[in-house]
Structure 1
Amino acid sequence: MGLALDIARAILPLVIVGGIAVFVILRMKHKYEKGTLGKKKTKDAQNLLDSLIPFGMMIGFAIAIFLSIFSPISLLSAMTWGPGIGFLFGYFAYEIYSKKEESHS
């Protein structure tokens, strides 16, 4: 029983983060096929929009590393959860920012 619990404890974060990745990729593919991906008028705004998901992953990774240093969370587990949750939050930021109108000031 102990071995099965250890295996489940090791694989569960990968399964959940893999599910998050599949969800985001399928949503982006669906938006691409419908032609509703976020488009901005200026090149700078489009670059910001396109970089939200990778920035989310990097920020999630950095937060996870700090949490693993100052808490009993293992580094390996933090390295799995951080980018996965950052990927999801980056996608949500992408969705919110892509719907926002640009100000012409």
Structure 2
Amino acid sequence: MSLTLEIMRIFLPLVLVCGIAVFVVLRMIHKTKKGTLGKKKTRGAQNLLDSLIPLGMVIGFIAAIFVSLLLPIALLSSIAWGPGIGLLFGYFAYEIYSKKKKIIHNDSFP
């Protein structure tokens, strides 16, 4: 029984992070084929938008190291979880930042 639990502890982070990575890649492929990737007007805003996903992974990696230092979690396990969760948060930040603001025109006012 303990061997099974040990194998689960080893492979569970790998399987979940791989699932997150496949989800993000497939969503970006879908957005590319559909033509709905986020586009910003200025070059600086577009650079920020393009760097949100890698930046999320770097921040997740750094956070994982700090969590591993402060809590009794193995360093290798936290290094597996950190960039994966950062990838997911970076993707969500990309989705939120790439939304175009809708301007509501109200014709009832003169």
TM-score exceeds 0.5? yes
CA RMSD of aligned residues (A): 0.8
Q: Which amino acid aligns with 2:8?
A: A
Offset of residue 22 of structure 1: 0.4
Give unpaired runs (5+ residues) of structure 2.
102-110
Matched residue SS, 2:37: coil
Q: Following the alignment from structure 1 to structure 2, what is the Cα–Cα distance between the partners of residues 57 and 82?
A: 7
Say whether 1:97 aligns with 2:97: yes
Map of 1:70 onto structure 2: 70
- Read off the aligned partner of 1:15 and give its amino acid letter: V
Q: Note the C-alpha offset of 1:29.
A: 0.4
Structure showing greater Rg: 2
Provide the identity percentage.
Answer: 72
Provide the residue aligned with 1:26 in structure 2. Answer: 26
> Size of the alignment, in residue pairs?
101
Instruction: Tell me which stretches of 4 or more aligned residues in structure 1 moved more than 2 Å.
Output: none
Give 1:68 deviation, angstroms. 0.3
TM-score (norm 2): 0.89
Q: Shift of the alpha carbon at 1:100?
A: 4.4
Q: Distance in 1 between matches of 2:66 and 2:46?
A: 31
